[in-house]
């Protein structure tokens, strides 16, 4: 077979556009695919000079340099197309006589790329919004809550220290995290720590870390404390009212000097951290009683946010129930929804453990029920019975108040112990007692330990 006879028809059969220019840039050949792709009949283009039609055509460079260009991307103005081309010099007896171009129209790919770019920027915008969803979680229909959330949004943009007040489970940590995530520190760590959960003997080393060999059993290479871990970011000190006075003095010094030393070390580390604190106690009362340093209080209390308990913002329950349910549904891969009667009963409950108690109640419903529609029977018994009948889950047992020596603190301690002991007695297990008491598992065990009920 004499292939040479067929070279032209081979060129004509190609799907890629082929064109040939002579040394003076005159177009001498275009194949059918060229005319098809770019909508130009061959007789309209053959004989025209590229230097006039497309003075910046890349193939002109090949004519000048004699070097090929492979996978070369360019925009052809006269065709209004993005193309990818292989441009090769044509040689005869070692002399350049022209060049061949094989081109693909990639306008569609480029348009898709542009679209992809737009989608990418849209998705990263959504991602950022998602990242800041904590504030949207705290969205509320209640005027008091709304003004707290608005103040939190404003304060997030500043460096001000914030104290968040509120009962257990109202969302103090959630708000602290939302403030962090809406602040310029959002890319840096958010480190929460509950001051009530650290044994006093470990306070300093937990907060400031320790150098290697600073005490028997200290970690090799030393250990970073939470101040160091949070450096550059936000440190959330929960239950600040539980801090012993000597540690308050140390924290105050660190905040004032903006440096800290690890336990057993002499090196000073610079500290650049925003501190957000939280407490369920009335700190000004604590100051009056001499349990909290006034100077530390003023350092920490540039802005104070008071989150109202859930029972004072029951209008938020339908929204909270639906948001929490959809989170729990994804966690348990279920599709549970609640009937209006269920919302009704849940709305009657007083939620002493606030949103945490609601999360726990809903989680139990989602985890246990096989139905899609949760009915009243799915509501944890202690809520259902309490709200449906006049039965109170835990009748308060007043301690012997006839004893004149009894001060208020002592009375409260005893009442707390009685309540816990009662809840334990009347519950099938500890988990049920926790639900009845409406406190966190951690607080429950702390209190069991404190009252010798473990």
- Single out the residue of 85, 24, 19, 81 nearest to residue 46, CA to CA: 19
**Residue of the chain from 186, 247, 359, 385 that contacts ligand ATP (CB under 6 A):** 359
C-alpha count within 13 angstroms, C-beta hemisphere, residue 28:
11
**Cβ closest to ligand ATP, residue 193 vs residue 251:** 193
**Residue of the chain from 45, 170, 423, 437 that contacts ligand ATP (CB under 6 A):** 170
**Residue of the chain from 46, 53, 96, 174 that contacts ligand ATP (CB under 6 A):** 174
Residue 69 near residue 85 (C-beta atoms within 8 A): yes
CB of 205 to ligand ATP, least distance (A): 23
Confirm or reject binding of residue 380 to ligand ATP (CB under 6 A): no
**Residue of the chain from 57, 275, 346, 355 that contacts ligand ATP (CB under 6 A):** 355
**Residue of the chain from 172, 185, 293, 313 that contacts ligand ATP (CB under 6 A):** 172
Q: Which stretch binds ligand ATP (CB under 6 A): 75-83, 89-97, 172-180, 429-437?
A: 172-180
Confirm or reject binding of residue 352 to ligand ATP (CB under 6 A): no
CA atoms of 440 and 387, how far apart (whole Å): 21
Confirm or reject binding of residue 169 to ligand ATP (CB under 6 A): yes
- Render the burial of 27-36: b for 16+ CB within 10 Å, e for the rest: bebbbbbbbe
Which x/- pattern, by CB under 6 A, does the window 303-322 give for ligand ATP?
-----------------x--
**Residue of the chain from 81, 349, 356, 414 that contacts ligand ATP (CB under 6 A):** 356
Confirm or reject binding of residue 180 to ligand ATP (CB under 6 A): no
**Residue of the chain from 25, 31, 161, 168 that contacts ligand ATP (CB under 6 A):** 168
Tokens standing for 55? Answer: 């003075």
Q: Which stretch binds ligand ATP (CB under 6 A): 9-17, 168-176, 329-337, 389-397?
A: 168-176
CB of 157 to ligand ATP, least distance (A): 21
Confirm or reject binding of residue 138 to ligand ATP (CB under 6 A): yes
Tokens standing for 44? Answer: 């309209």
CB of 172 to ligand ATP, least distance (A): 3
Contacts for 381 with CB less than 8 Å, ≥ 6 apart: none
**Cβ closest to ligand ATP, residue 69 vs residue 320:** 320
Residue 227 near residue 260 (C-beta atoms within 8 A): yes
Confirm or reject binding of residue 173 to ligand ATP (CB under 6 A): yes
Residue 186 phi, psi dihedral angles, 5° rounding: -55, -25
Confirm or reject binding of residue 357 to ligand ATP (CB under 6 A): no
- Which residues 435-454 are close enough to bind ligand ATP by CB under 6 A? 440
Tokens standing for 260? Answer: 């800290």
**Cβ closest to ligand ATP, residue 188 vs residue 280:** 280
**Cβ closest to ligand ATP, residue 310 vs residue 394:** 310
Residue 273 near residue 222 (C-beta atoms within 8 A): no
Confirm or reject binding of residue 137 to ligand ATP (CB under 6 A): yes
Report CA-CA distances (Å) from 132 to 128, 203, 307, 440. 6, 32, 19, 26
Residue nearest to ligand ATP (CB): 171
Confirm or reject binding of residue 198 to ligand ATP (CB under 6 A): no
Confirm or reject binding of residue 134 to ligand ATP (CB under 6 A): no
CB of 37 to ligand ATP, least distance (A): 57
Determine how β-strand 259-261 pairs with β-strand 268-270: antiparallel
Confirm or reject binding of residue 171 to ligand ATP (CB under 6 A): yes
CB of 354 to ligand ATP, least distance (A): 7
Q: Which stretch binds ligand ATP (CB under 6 A): 167-175, 211-219, 224-232, 256-264?
A: 167-175
Confirm or reject binding of residue 206 to ligand ATP (CB under 6 A): no
- Residues contacting ligand ATP: total by CB under 6 A: 19
The radius of gyration of the chain from alpha carbons, rounded to an integer in Å, stands at: 37
Binding site for ligand ATP (CB under 6 A): 137-138, 166, 168-174, 238, 280, 320, 323-324, 355-356, 359, 440
């Amino acid at each position: 077979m004499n292939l040479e006879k067929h070279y032209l028809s081979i060129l004509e059969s190609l799907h890629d556009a082929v064109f040939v220019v002579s040394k003076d840039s005159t177009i001498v050949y275009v194949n059918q695919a060229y005319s098809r792709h770019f909508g130009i009949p061959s007789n309209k283009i053959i004989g025209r000079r590229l230097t006039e039609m497309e003075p910046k055509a890349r193939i002109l460079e090949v004519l000048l340099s004699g070097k090929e260009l492979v996978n070369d991307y360019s925009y052809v103005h006269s065709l209004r197309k993005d193309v990818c081309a292989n441009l090769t010099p044509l040689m005869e007896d070692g002399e350049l006589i022209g060049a061949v171009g094989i081109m693909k129209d990639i306008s569609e790919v480029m348009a898709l790329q542009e679209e992809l770019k737009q989608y990418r920027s849209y998705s990263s915008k959504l991602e950022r919004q998602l990242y800041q969803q904590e504030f949207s979680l705290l969205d509320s229909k209640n005027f008091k809550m709304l003004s707290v959330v608005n103040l939190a949004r404003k304060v997030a943009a500043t460096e001000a220290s914030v104290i968040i007040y509120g009962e257990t489970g109202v969302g103090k940590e959630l708000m602290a995290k939302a403030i962090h995530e809406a602040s310029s520190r959002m890319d840096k760590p958010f480190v929460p720590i509950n001051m009530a959960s650290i044994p006093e003997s470990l306070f300093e080393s937990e907060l400031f870390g320790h150098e290697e060999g600073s005490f028997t059993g200290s970690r090799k290479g030393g250990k970073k404390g939470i101040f160091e871990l949070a450096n550059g970011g936000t440190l959330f000190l929960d239950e600040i009212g539980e801090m012993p006075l000597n540690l308050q003095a140390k924290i105050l010094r660190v905040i004032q000097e903006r440096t800290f030393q690890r336990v057993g070390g002499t090196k000073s580390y610079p500290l650049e951290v925003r501190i957000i604190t939280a407490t369920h106690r009335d700190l000004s009362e604590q100051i009056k009683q001499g349990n909290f340093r006034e100077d530390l209080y003023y350092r920490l209390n540039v802005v104070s946010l008071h989150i109202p308990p859930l029972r004072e913002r029951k209008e938020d329950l339908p929204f909270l129930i639906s948001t929490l349910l959809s989170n729990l549904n994804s966690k348990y891969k279920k599709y549970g929804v609640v009937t209006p009667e269920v919302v009704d009963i849940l709305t009657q409950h007083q939620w002493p453990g606030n949103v945490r108690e609601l999360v726990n109640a809903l989680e139990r419903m989602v985890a246990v029920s096989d139905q899609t529609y949760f009915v009243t029977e799915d509501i944890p018994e202690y809520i259902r019975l309490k709200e449906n009948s006049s039965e109170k889950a835990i009748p308060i047992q007043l301690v012997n108040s006839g004893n004149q020596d009894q001060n208020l603190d002592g009375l409260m301690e005893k009442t707390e112990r009685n309540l816990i002991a009662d809840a334990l007695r009347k519950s099938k297990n500890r988990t049920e007692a926790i639900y009845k008491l409406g406190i966190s598992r951690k607080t429950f065990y702390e209190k069991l330990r404190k009252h010798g009920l473990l």
